[in-house]
């Protein structure tokens, strides 16, 4: 019962996000100066580090929740790669972000997703 109810709720939310995302894409400015930019990035990277450390701990202890932590770490790595690339100023900064995504973030994310699948 809970599984069916949850699947329905998630499907409705996913569909509802489509027009919202379209509206955001059309209405938001392409440039924005943000307050607490440093805090946002440092906080995200701290959450990513914590997730990777908990995943490693759960993996070494063979804990039942390792697949959940690995999946979360993979998702955070993909999000980190995405935001690094799209928020880069351009030129060298953008190429560095793309390179980091290709050689580090996305391969580690793939490893995390493989661990999540193997452990699940």
Per-residue pLDDT 10s for the chain (120 aa) are 777 888 888 899 999 999 999 998 999 888 888 899 899 999 999 999 999 999 999 999 999 999 999 999 999 999 999 999 999 998 999 999 999 999 999 999 999 999 999 855
pLDDT at 119: 59
pLDDT at 69: 96
First-to-last C-alpha distance (Å) of the chain: 21
Place of tokens 């202890």: 61
Q: How far is CA 59 from CA 37, 52, 67, 100, in A?
A: 33, 10, 9, 25
pLDDT at 90: 87
Residue 83 CB: number of other CB atoms within 10 A? 14
pLDDT at 28: 86
Q: How far is CA 98 from CA 80, 92, 103, 112, in A?
A: 11, 10, 9, 20
């Amino acid at each position: 019962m809970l599984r069916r109810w949850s699947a329905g709720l998630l499907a409705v939310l996913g569909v509802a996000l489509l027009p919202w995302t379209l509206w955001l894409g059309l209405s938001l400015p392409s440039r924005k100066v943000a307050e607490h930019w440093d805090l946002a990035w440092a906080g995200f990277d701290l959450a990513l580090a914590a997730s990777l450390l908990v995943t490693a701990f759960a993996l070494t202890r063979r804990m039942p929740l390792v697949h959940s932590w690995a999946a979360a770490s993979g998702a955070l790595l993909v999000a980190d790669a995405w935001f690094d690339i799209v928020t880069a100023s351009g030129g060298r900064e953008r190429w560095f972000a793309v390179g980091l995504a290709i050689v580090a973030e996305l391969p580690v994310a793939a490893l995390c997703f493989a661990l999540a699948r193997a452990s699940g």
